[in-house]
Structure 1
Amino acid sequence: MTTTFPPGAPNWLDLGTTDVDGARDFYGEIFGWTLVDLGPEAGGYGFFLKDGKQVAGIGPATDADRGTSWSTYFATDDVDAVAARVETHGGKVIVPPEDVMDQGRMAVFTDPAGAFFSSWQPAAHHGAELVAAVGAMAWVELSTTDAAAAAAFYPAVLPASARDIEMGPGMTYTLLNVDDHAVAGIMQVESEAPRWGVYFDVADCDAVADRAISLGATEMLREDSPAGRMATLVDPQGGIFSIIKSNPDFAP
C-alpha cells in the first residue's frame, strides 16, 4: 500500500542507533527489511526497505542523551512555519529547519512536556512508500504525563484536530485527526518520560515478539487492545518500538 501524506499526518520514521549494523540485522530478521546505505555524503544514513519499498530510515545516533531512539516525522508544506508555531506555543526547536540535500527540509522539536518529534517538508523524498501493511508503519502514539496539554499543543502547531474516544472503563484516548481521519494518538501515562512511540504491523504479534526477544530484545508489555494484539519492545541497542496485529474491525 502506497500513500500520500496530507500536512499534519506522520509521513516518515527513522531510527538513530548506536549500532547501525546490529540494528540492520535485528530489524531485518523480525520484519524482513533490507538496508540501502546512501553513502558517505549522507553521513551514514540509509533506508530500510520492505518488499522494495521505503518504510523507515536509519542512521547513527547523534544525541548521547537520547541514545538509540525512533523518531516520528509529521508532513508539512512549510517546516519554517511549523518551527515558529512550536516556539510560540511552548515547545522548543532542537534542530532548526534545514535542507537535506535534494530530499526535503526538516526540523526537530520537543513539545512542552519534552517529547521529541520532527517535521518533514518533502522534495524528492515524500515519505514512507509503504504503510498500513505487514512490516510497515501502522500507527504513532504520544505517551505523555499531560494529555490535555498535548491535545492543545499539537493542533496548534500541526493542521490537526483533537478528538477524545473511550477505550474502556475510565480510559480516555485522544486522537489527532487530519481531514477527518485519525492519524495519531495521545495517551495519558503517570510516570514515563514523554515520548512518541511507533507501531509496526505484523501478521502474528506473539511470534514476532518472541523472535525479537530471542534476538536480544526485551519486552515492556504484551496485551490485547481494541485496536489489536500488541507488544512494546526494546531493541538490543535500547530503542523502544511497538508491534501490532491490527484488528480490521476497529475504526477509531
Structure 2
Amino acid sequence: MLNNRFVTGAPVWVDMCAPDLGSVRNFYRSLFGWELRQGAEDVGGYSQYQLGDRTAAGAMAIPAEEAPPSWTLYFRTPEVDATVKAVEQAGGRTLFEAVDILDLGRMAGAVDSADASFAVWQQGELKGLDVLNEPGGLVWAELYTPDVPAAVAFYEAVFGWQTTEASFPGGSYTMVHPADGTADDMFGGVAPLATDPTEAGSEAYWLPYFQVTDCDDMVAKARESGGTVRMDTVEMEGVGRFAKLADPAGARFAVLQPSPPGEQGQ
C-alpha cells in the first residue's frame, strides 16, 4: 500500500479540478471530513483539502472548457525535465511544461501512450501528502487502459516500475510498485477497460481510491450529497469492500474499506 517513503515513481500527491470548488466542498466534507482551505494568490489560488491540520488532497478551480472535472495523480521524480523527455520517448506527450511552484517543488503534466493523464512532482520543500493509507487518505490507484502490456511498458520506461500478477477466479490483476521499492510498496493496479462494465466505453484514465471505514456508509452519503454511484459496493476476499463514485461535478474516484490486516492477501 501507499506510504510516506515517497520513493521515485510512487504517488506523492493527488488533486481534483472543477469549475466551482464550492459545488463539491460539502460533498467531500460529508464523505471524508475534509475541509477546503483556499489557496493564496502566490500559488494561483491552488487549494487543499485538510483533514485536521494535515493535507489529504489538492484542488483547483478550472473552467469546464479548459478541463473536465477530474482527479489527477502525481508521481515522484528526482528530475522533472528528464522524466518529461522519457514520457515523450515512450510514446506519451506533455500536457503542460515543467514549472517551479515557489520553493515547494517542480511539476509537469503529461499523458501516457493511451492518453491517460497524470503529473510528475520533483520535491522541494513539499515532499507529498500528509494523509495516506488511512481513513480519508489516498490508499490505492488504478489505471484503466485499452492495452495493459503497452501501459506497463510505458511506465516501466518512464519510472522503472515493477509488476506482480495476482490471480483471481477468472483472470489476473497486474499490480505495480516503484523500482526502488518492494512488493510491500505496491500502490496500484493496471486493468483493461474492456473487461469492466463500469468502465467500458471510457477513455484511459487513473482512478484514485480513498480509504474509508464503512464502504456502504460512503455510498449512501455520496447519494445523499449529490454524487453519483458508478458501481455499488463490491467485496473481494483479501482486499476489502470498494465502490466507484463521482462527485457532484463529475470527477471520478473510488473508496476502499480494506480487509482487516490478518485477512489481506489471503
User: Which band: TM-score by shorter chain?
Assistant: over 0.9
Task: Give the direction of change, closer, same or farther, for the CA distance of 1:250–1:66 in structure 2 (3 Å limit).
Answer: farther
Deviation at 1:103, TM superposition (A): 1.1
Aligned residue type for 1:124: E
CA RMSD of aligned residues (A): 1.7
Q: Given the alignment, which residue of 210, 213, 222 partners 1:212? A: 222
Indicate the residue corresponding to 1:23 in structure 2: 24
Task: State the TM-score, normalizing by the size of structure 1.
Answer: 0.95
Indicate the residue corresponding to 2:118 in structure 1: 117
Query: Quick one: distance in 2 between partners of 1:144 and 1:12?
Result: 21
Aligned residue type for 1:225: M
Deviation at 1:51, TM superposition (A): 2.6
- Does 2:79 align with 1:78? yes
Aligned residue type for 2:123: P
CA-to-aligned-CA distance 1:109-134 (integer Å, 9 cap, x gap): 10111100111111111110110000
Aligned residue type for 1:233: L
Deviation at 1:35, TM superposition (A): 1.8
Size of the alignment, in residue pairs? Answer: 251
Residues 1-252 of structure 1: matches in 2 within 5 Å? 3-61=4-62, 64=65, 66-169=67-170, 171-178=171-178, 179-180=181-182, 181-190=185-194, 191-222=201-232, 223-226=234-237, 227-247=239-259, 248=261, 249-251=263-265
Aligned residue type for 2:152: A
CA-to-aligned-CA distance 1:23-59 (integer Å, 9 cap, x gap): 2221011100112222122222111111321111001
Percent of pairs with identical residues: 31
Determine helix, strand or coil for the equivalent of 1:162: strand
Which of 37-46 and 105-114 deviates more? 37-46
Determine helix, strand or coil for the equivalent of 2:186: strand
Which of 106-115 and 28-37 deviates more? 28-37
Moved over 6 A (4+): none
Unaligned runs of 5+ in 2: 195-200
Deviation at 1:75, TM superposition (A): 0.7
Task: State the TM-score, normalizing by the size of structure 2.
Answer: 0.90
Counterpart contact for 2:19–2:64, Cα < 8 Å:
no
Which structure: greater strand fraction?
1
Deviation at 1:163, TM superposition (A): 2.2
